[in-house]
Amino acid sequence: MRSNSSALSLRRWWRSARFAWSGIAHAYRTQANFRIEVGAGVLAVTLALLLHAPLAPILLACALVLSLELVNTALEAVVDLASPDLHPLAKAAKDGAAGAVLVASLGALLVGLVVLGPPLLHLLS
């Protein structure tokens, strides 16, 4: 019985993973900021690999920014569904989520400068 339960759990996991990838694909198709952040992440990871800089902080910073952008996208959709008219609370929710993405992006920029700056300066000097 255990193997049957494991197979069912694995199928549920794959189904959930497909839904998650669908959400990521939707954000990539519809959100210009998400595409910009993906591009910035690819650039940062490429630089880290070329400069032999630590990759973990760059990957974590990128994951944080992209995750928050996905949450922001989802929250905007829910707010638009619940409150199609302009409302101060809807604006506050959207602005707060956008602010979280901005804070994470500035943090990622700082991580990039700290991790990639020294090897880049060494290479250029």
Q: Which residues are annotated as a binding site for substrate?
A: 12, 69
Q: Which residues are annotated as a binding site?
A: 12, 69, 76, 94-95
How far, in Å, CA of 40 to CA of 27, rounded? 16
> Is residue 69 flagged as an active site residue?
yes
Q: Which residues are annotated as a binding site for ATP?
A: 12, 76, 94-95
Kindly name the residue from 69, 73, 79, 108 that is annotated as catalytic. Answer: 69
* Three-state helix/strand/coil letters over 31-61: CHHHHHHHHHHHHHHHHHHHCCCCCHHHHHH
Enumerate the active-site residues.
69
